Amino acid sequence: MKPKWQVTHTRWLFVMALLGLAWLGLGQTTPQTKDLQVAGTSLKASVYNGFAFAPLEFASALGLETQVTNDAVVLKQGGKVLRIALADGAYEAATQWTNGLEVNGVRQKSPAAGLGGGRLLIPVKSVAEAAGGTFEESGNTVIVNMPQAILGTVSSDKTERSDRVVLEIDRDVGFSSRIEKSDLIVTLRFTNGTASPYLVGGKFIDVFEVKPVANKLEAKIPLKSSDGFQIFAVASSQGIPARVIIDVGSRFGRPSVALDSRPSVVVLDPGHGGNDLGVVSGNLREKDITLKMAQRIASILAPRGIAMKYTRNEDKDTSIETRQALSVKADVLISLHVSSQPNSSAKGAEIFYLSPDAPSEGILDAGRTALENAKTERERKLLSRFLAPRAASQKLADMISARILAVPNGEARVSSLGSHTALERAPKAAIVLELGYLSNDEDRAALQNTDASVSRAEAVAYAVLEYLGKPVPAAKPEAPK
Ligand SMILES: [Zn+2]
């Protein structure tokens, strides 16, 4: 149910209605499918207008980070950004778009992205080639290979406030990072290099090492528990190699994965409960739907080492104070709700994150310390308003959206909110997830359907795992049509 912060999405409703129509239209013409071999992973490609398209797993297999926005699929390969326009459907993407891809802001000949067979699809050849891969089509098979990039110069820089490691690579590559015990491990995908230790001799990094592991290259940097880090990449350009830059120092934030071995805490907040029924439609009540969904999500996350907490795990009234008190401990907070609108065509999931004016990380850190020491409720309330890190919540929202869009008939959009009581105390990633509209026939059917609910719960749980840097189970193969 929507409290007064309801934001309207007229434009999006219109776009989603078009997507829905396009999808229905495509349902009648089954596209030809081909086997897609991509860097050791087997996927299926669908052919529209002679162009092969693949789901977002294709980009992941190439080591690209994926993100879905209102009007584009954004893929990142280190500092290189591939932006694929989002057409109404894959058929339109293949027939109406000739320059659907932008690489670092420069348009390229390519179809766009679009929904096909209920999944979000991206063009295979132009993405593969823009990412530095090779594309080959023979008979019923499409083969995409990613040649290994080569590590070049490794350099470092030390200052009073932080130490820096710069890894040069002969082309842009995707990277990821994780904490293992007290080491920061930065992985460069599809990269080769010689195993070697490097001496920095700085205040924050003494020595670190680089070594190849399978087709990746890992840099292992010991971290002191008081230090944080930041990692960013600079795209190669005009003969200048690509760079991955790692800064370590006490002034950098702790990563969302804690340095200690404390398990990540996910707090699920099923909306309403007890006398507060939420939205009601026939015998369907919001309070039951949100609780059931919370339990489904928890059943996937709990066995994977995540500490699960609920603001309620039964049908009872729960005060906003109780909900807020738990949210303070959350690495991830998800407040679950269901929508309803007089206009019965409104449909799909909506994900909201708080977007106060983005203060700098330093102010946020100072605020966190001050919040811990706050003497009065007024002080606490004032401080807590500005503490939710915008980027973290938005990233989580985008990840959930991308995964919901990838389930059959999945619809999702992301919006920001100026304020929301359930989210305002959460110090880390926090979102409101409106699961769908009880006022819409298709959403109501999906909310009652076990398979649809399970696939949506999986989408949310897997996005949380991805956000927390945990291994994500492989997607189930698509059911044959
Ligand atoms: Zn509600």
> Beta strand 80-85 with 101-103: parallel, antiparallel or unpaired?
antiparallel
- pLDDT of 15 > 50? The answer is no
CA contacts within 13 A on the Cβ side of 238: 0
- The pLDDT-based confidence of 108 (bands split at 50, 70, 90) is very high
* Closest to 198 in 3D by CA, of 210, 180, 213, 190: 210
State in Å: Cα 337 to ligand 1 middle: 4
C-alpha span between 481 and 479 (Å, rounded): 6
Percent of the chain at pLDDT > 90 equals 57
State in Å: Cα 222 to ligand 1 middle: 45
C-alpha span between 6 and 8 (Å, rounded): 7
State in Å: Cα 436 to ligand 1 middle: 11
Contact in structure between 461 and 297 (CB atoms under 8 Å): yes
pLDDT of residue 71: 80
Summary mean pLDDT of the chain: 85
- pLDDT of 425 > 80? The answer is no
C-alpha span between 406 and 399 (Å, rounded): 11
* Region 32-60 average pLDDT: 93
Lowest pLDDT segment from 92-106, 140-154, 161-175, 421-435: 421-435
pLDDT of residue 468: 87
C-alpha span between 456 and 445 (Å, rounded): 13
State in Å: Cα 264 to ligand 1 middle: 26
Question: Which one has a higher pLDDT value, 408 or 119?
Answer: 408
109, β-bridge pairs: none
What region does 190 belong to: left with phi over 0, alpha with psi -120 to 50, or beta?
Answer: left
Q: How many CB atoms lie within 10 A of CB 108?
A: 16
State in Å: Cα 279 to ligand 1 middle: 7
**DSSP, residue by residue, 145-156:** E-PPEEEEEEEE
pLDDT of residue 6: 38
State in Å: Cα 99 to ligand 1 middle: 42
State in Å: Cα 290 to ligand 1 middle: 9
pLDDT of residue 345: 92
- The pLDDT-based confidence of 383 (bands split at 50, 70, 90) is low
- The pLDDT-based confidence of 69 (bands split at 50, 70, 90) is confident
pLDDT of residue 306: 87
- The pLDDT-based confidence of 360 (bands split at 50, 70, 90) is very low
Lowest pLDDT segment from 23-27, 262-266, 453-457, 472-476: 23-27
- pLDDT of 19 > 90? The answer is no
Instruction: Walk across the sheet containing 41-48 and list its strands.
Output: 114-116, 119-123, 51-55, 41-48, 32-38, 141-145, 134-138
Tell me how far apart the terminal alpha carbons of the chain are, to the nearest angstrom: 35
272 to 133, 167, 250, 351: CA distances (angstroms): 50, 51, 42, 18
pLDDT digits (tens, 9 = 90+) for 244-257: 999 999 888 655 44
State which H helix or E strand residue 243 sits in.
strand 242-249
State in Å: Cα 323 to ligand 1 middle: 14
- pLDDT of 361 > 60? The answer is no
* Region 99-112 average pLDDT: 94
User: Following CA atoms 268, 270, 271, 274 in sequence, which dihedral angle do they give, to the nearest 10 degrees?
Assistant: -140
- pLDDT of 100 > 60? The answer is yes
State in Å: Cα 397 to ligand 1 middle: 18
State in Å: Cα 326 to ligand 1 middle: 18
* Region 24-50 average pLDDT: 82
Could you give the angle at the alpha carbon of 45 between the alpha carbons of 43 and 50, nearest 5°?
160
State in Å: Cα 358 to ligand 1 middle: 27
Q: Which domains does the chain have, with CATH numbers?
A: 31-145 (no CATH), 149-249 (2.60.40.3500), 263-467 (3.40.630.40)
pLDDT digits (tens, 9 = 90+) for 260-278: 345 788 999 999 999 999 9
State which H helix or E strand residue 370 sits in.
helix 361-372
State in Å: Cα 341 to ligand 1 middle: 12
Contact in structure between 360 and 458 (CB atoms under 8 Å): no
pLDDT of residue 255: 52
State in Å: Cα 73 to ligand 1 middle: 30
pLDDT digits (tens, 9 = 90+) for 187-201: 999 999 999 999 999
- The pLDDT-based confidence of 288 (bands split at 50, 70, 90) is very high
- The pLDDT-based confidence of 24 (bands split at 50, 70, 90) is very low
State in Å: Cα 347 to ligand 1 middle: 15
* Region 353-357 average pLDDT: 69
45, β-bridge pairs: 34
pLDDT of residue 346: 92
- The pLDDT-based confidence of 447 (bands split at 50, 70, 90) is very high
State in Å: Cα 286 to ligand 1 middle: 7
Percent of the chain at pLDDT > 70 equals 84
* Closest to 186 in 3D by CA, of 235, 96, 247, 132: 247
- The pLDDT-based confidence of 365 (bands split at 50, 70, 90) is low
- pLDDT of 168 > 80? The answer is yes
